């Protein structure tokens, strides 16, 4: 861990946003297998029942890995800020109480006590307070403390529970929060609020890492520790950003956090109308309702992702608009969603799955999968294309820091030693080298002294990432290997984000295109994950490619 702190502290300050995202993701990926093993050892697993959609016990303390993955870069780079320190204390309270609840169920009173304690820390130590309602109040009028304090506490605790209750399908709460944190990060950098922007990027990074293990079929759940952590983080950052800004509308949290809040309010209204406890368990959540009308598990998650993405885009587009427009727009959206599900329940309406979908499209895709011609052609291109893209990325920068070229020979020696002495460790070493190399070579190729490829070469190079992304989807969808990489709603979520960030005016935020760099890095990461899953331990050729990339990196500063 000391080595991590040294590396983080020595990075170029202009690389902080990208490094925050990447290192948070890598730490989470590294920690999840550890916490999974601990969960099995201490029986911290989620047992299936009539309310659950999974069929086997699943470890449920993934939230611990997420919290640690986020806290490390935040503490190293951002700890001096008072808001950030208060946020870390409040989030830690919820992670600890959530973990205890995951291990041995706490009473609702104790859980609420932990949530109110965390909210109080954010309010009194972090300065997060709802004092402004924008143009909903007369000009210059703010909420007095007797109103603002309880309203803030209720809002933080309410959203924390709303995200916790939304965690009902594989990848659902994580995907919703990923979109929320990406939007908060973007708005924060636009508004010049770097502390909140960096925290949001760290949280986006840990969710990227976690979702590869949590999308259907999940191998780990975030548990209460994770869902409360994400809910508290989302509402605290959203309120801290908008209440502390003169430019952004204070009602933007309605759009950013509105879907889980609407879900919770709708469920509680149904329970109240049936004379049941507001906190009793049932299957009236939005994700349950989508499955009841005929959507499958991944389809339900995908629909909710799309709706949340539309709300996030609305928040970005309406950030300077009238507060009344935002309020009325959210009210109209809520009435439409609640009305649709009320109608479907009352009339027992279900989606008619036409033959064109289930027989022609899905049936045709299955026939292509069985024949195997497409997967063979795609995999051959992919097997050569992904390592070649890494090699070109290592040759591309005109100049890199000296410590990068010094580290490369040591990594090359490590790769050679492991291949000779412990070949069964080759996969882990290759993965570690790639995860270290990719962010540096992409960053310095895009922002350093320039690229050796030229204008035409750069266009071809960036187009290669699109080809790799498409091949990755084809391979993960048509692979017939049970242990191979599988396409999930996360893949579409990544594509949606990559397309979105490449079109944002990122030059207003930084002197380089952060979003496009992040998209390249994630595509390469996922590309190697797909490749290594399909190779099933046969890494000889990939080891040679990785060694060639390291040699190329050593020669950069000698040119």
Residues in the chain: 559
Q: Of 239, 285, 241, whose CA–CA distance to 260 is shortest?
A: 285
> What percent of the chain has pLDDT above 70?
80
Where is average pLDDT lowest: 204-213, 243-252, 540-549? 204-213
Please report the pLDDT score of residue 14 as a whole number.
59
For residue 488, how many other CB atoms are within 10 A of its CB? 23
* Rounded CA separation 425/422 (Å): 6
Q: Is the pLDDT of residue 67 over 70?
A: yes
**Distances, alpha carbon 229 to alpha carbons 130, 225, 452, in Å:** 20, 6, 44
- Side-chain half-sphere exposure of 309, counting CA atoms within 13 A: 18
Contacts of 48 (CB under 8 A, 6+ apart): 54, 55, 56, 57
Q: Find the helix packing angle between 62-78 and 16-41, rounded to 10°.
A: 150
Please report the pLDDT score of residue 129 as a whole number.
94
Cβ-contact 184, 319 below 8 angstroms: no
Domain parsing of the chain, residue ranges: 2-351, 356-558
Q: What band does 50 get if pLDDT is binned at 50, 70 and 90?
A: low
Q: Is the pLDDT of residue 51 over 60?
A: no
Contacts of 442 (CB under 8 A, 6+ apart): 393, 517, 520, 521, 524
* Rounded CA separation 115/151 (Å): 14
For residue 4, how many other CB atoms are within 10 A of its CB? 14
Q: Is the pLDDT of residue 160 over 60?
A: yes
**Distances, alpha carbon 519 to alpha carbons 18, 438, 497, in Å:** 11, 12, 8
Residue-wise pLDDT for 301-344, tens only, equals 888 888 998 999 999 888 888 899 999 999 999 999 888 888 88
Where is average pLDDT lowest: 70-74, 300-304, 493-497, 533-537? 493-497
Instruction: Over range 23-30, report the average pLDDT.
Output: 84
Residue-wise pLDDT for 177-205, tens only, equals 999 998 998 899 888 888 998 999 899 98
Contacts of 33 (CB under 8 A, 6+ apart): none
Q: Of 104, 229, 221, 207, whose CA–CA distance to 161 is shortest?
A: 229
DSSP 360: I
Element counts in the chain: helices (H) and strands (E) = 23, 2
Please report the pLDDT score of residue 147 as a whole number.
94
Residue-wise pLDDT for 75-85, tens only, equals 887 677 889 99
Q: Is the pLDDT of residue 169 over 50?
A: yes
Where is average pLDDT lowest: 100-109, 276-285, 530-539? 276-285
Q: What angle do CA 278, 61, 184 make, to 5 degrees?
A: 75
pTM tops 0.75, yes or no: yes
**How far from chain centre, in Å, is Cα 539?**
29
The answer to whether the Cα torsion of 292, 294, 298, 302 is positive or negative is negative
Where is average pLDDT lowest: 170-179, 184-193, 411-420? 170-179
* Rounded CA separation 130/251 (Å): 10
Beta bridge partners of 45: 59
Q: Please tell me which residue, 464 or 447, carries the higher pLDDT value.
A: 464
Please report the pLDDT score of residue 76 as a whole number.
83
Q: Find the helix packing angle between 145-166 and 223-243, rounded to 10°.
A: 140
Please report the pLDDT score of residue 121 as a whole number.
96
Residue by residue, DSSP assigns 377-429 as: HHHHHHHHHHHHHHHHHHHSBS---HHHHHHHHHHHHHHHHHHHH-GGGHHHH
Q: Find the helix packing angle between 426-447 and 16-41, rounded to 10°.
A: 160
Cβ-contact 204, 178 below 8 angstroms: yes
Contacts of 175 (CB under 8 A, 6+ apart): 207, 211, 215, 301, 304, 305, 308, 489, 490, 493
- Side-chain half-sphere exposure of 497, counting CA atoms within 13 A: 30
**At residue 99, what are phi and psi to the nearest 5 degrees?**
-65, -45
Residue-wise pLDDT for 85-139, tens only, equals 999 999 999 999 998 888 888 888 899 999 999 999 999 999 999 999 988 888 8
Q: What angle do CA 146, 150, 154 make, to 5 degrees?
A: 165
Instruction: Over range 463-488, report the average pLDDT.
Output: 68
Instruction: Over range 392-398, report the average pLDDT.
Output: 88
For the CA atoms of 97, 100, 104, 107, the dihedral, rounded to the nearest 10 degrees, stands at -10
**How far from chain centre, in Å, is Cα 316?**
18
What b/e sequence results for 276-304 when a residue is b if at least 16 CB atoms lie within 10 Å of its CB, and e otherwise?
Answer: eeeeeeeebbbbbbbbbeebebbebbbeb
Contacts of 187 (CB under 8 A, 6+ apart): 241, 248, 252, 315, 316, 319
Please report the pLDDT score of residue 389 as a whole number.
92
* Rounded CA separation 390/436 (Å): 12
Where is average pLDDT lowest: 30-39, 194-203, 384-393? 30-39
Residue-wise pLDDT for 498-531, tens only, equals 555 544 444 444 444 666 777 788 788 888 888 8
Cβ-contact 67, 245 below 8 angstroms: no
Please report the pLDDT score of residue 146 as a whole number.
93
For residue 7, how many other CB atoms are within 10 A of its CB? 15
* Rounded CA separation 443/297 (Å): 37
Where is average pLDDT lowest: 5-19, 142-156, 224-238? 5-19
Tell me: cis bond preceding 217? Omega within 30 of 0 counts: yes
Please report the pLDDT score of residue 1 as a whole number.
43
* Rounded CA separation 255/328 (Å): 11
Q: Is the pLDDT of residue 60 over 70?
A: yes
3-state secondary structure of 12: coil
Cβ-contact 415, 451 below 8 angstroms: no
Please report the pLDDT score of residue 503 as a whole number.
47
């Amino acid at each position: 861990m000391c080595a991590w702190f040294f590396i983080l502290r020595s990075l170029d300050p202009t690389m902080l946003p990208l490094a925050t995202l990447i290192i948070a993701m890598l730490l989470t990926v590294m920690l999840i297998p550890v916490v999974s093993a601990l969960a099995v050892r201490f029986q911290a697993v989620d047992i299936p029942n009539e309310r659950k959609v999974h069929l086997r016990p699943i470890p449920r303390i993934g939230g611990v890995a997420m919290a640690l993955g986020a806290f490390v870069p935040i503490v190293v780079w951002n700890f001096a800020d008072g808001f950030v320190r208060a946020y870390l204390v409040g989030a830690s309270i919820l992670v600890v109480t959530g973990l205890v609840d995951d291990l041995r169920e706490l009473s609702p009173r104790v859980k609420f006590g932990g949530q109110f304690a965390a909210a109080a820390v954010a309010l009194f130590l972090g300065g997060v307070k709802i004092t402004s309602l924008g143009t909903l109040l007369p000009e210059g009028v703010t909420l007095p403390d007797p109103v603002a304090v309880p309203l803030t506490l209720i809002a933080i605790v309410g959203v924390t529970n709303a995200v916790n209750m939304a965690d009902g399908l594989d990848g659902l709460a994580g995907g919703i929060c990923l979109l929320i944190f990406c939007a908060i990060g973007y708005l924060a950098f636009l508004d010049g609020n770097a502390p909140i922007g960096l925290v949001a990027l760290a949280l986006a990074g840990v969710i990227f890492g976690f979702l590869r293990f949590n999308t259907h079929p999940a191998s780990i759940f975030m548990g209460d520790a994770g869902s409360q952590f994400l809910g508290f983080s989302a509402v605290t950052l959203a309120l801290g950003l908008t209440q502390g800004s003169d430019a952004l509308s204070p009602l933007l949290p309605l759009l950013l956090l509105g879907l889980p809040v609407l879900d919770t309010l709708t469920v509680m209204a149904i329970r109240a109308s049936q004379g049941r406890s507001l906190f009793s368990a049932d299957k009236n959540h939005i994700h349950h309702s989508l499955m009841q009308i005929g959507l499958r598990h991944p389809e339900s998650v995908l629909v909710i992702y799309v709706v949340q993405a539309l709300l996030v885009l609305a928040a970005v587009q309406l950030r300077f608009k009238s507060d009344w427009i935002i309020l009325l727009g959210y009210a109209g959206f809520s009435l439409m969603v609640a009305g649709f599900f009320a109608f479907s329940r009352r009339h027992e309406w279900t989606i008619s799955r036409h033959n064109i979908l289930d027989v022609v499209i899905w049936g045709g895709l299955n026939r292509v999968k069985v024949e195997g011609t497409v997967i063979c052609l795609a995999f051959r291109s992919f097997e050569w294309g992904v390592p070649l893209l890494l090699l070109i990325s290592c040759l591309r920068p005109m100049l890199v820091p000296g410590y990068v070229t010094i580290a490369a020979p040591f990594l090359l020696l490590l790769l050679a030693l492991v291949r000779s002495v412990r070949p069964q460790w080759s996969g882990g070493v290759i993965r570690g080298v790639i995860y270290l190399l990719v962010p540096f070579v992409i960053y310095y190729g895009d922002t350093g002294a320039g690229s050796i490829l030229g204008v035409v070469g750069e266009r071809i190079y960036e187009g290669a990432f699109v080809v790799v992304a498409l091949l990755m989807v084809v391979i993960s969808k048509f692979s017939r290997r049970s242990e191979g990489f599988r396409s999930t709603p996360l893949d579409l979520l990544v594509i949606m984000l990559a397309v979105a960030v490449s079109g944002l005016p990122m030059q207003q935020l930084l002197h380089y295109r952060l979003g496009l760099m992040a998209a390249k890095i994630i595509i390469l990461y996922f590309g190697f994950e797909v490749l290594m899953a399909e190779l099933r331990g046969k890494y000889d050729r990939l080891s040679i490619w990785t060694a060639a990339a390291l040699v190329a990196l050593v020669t950069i500063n000698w040119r």
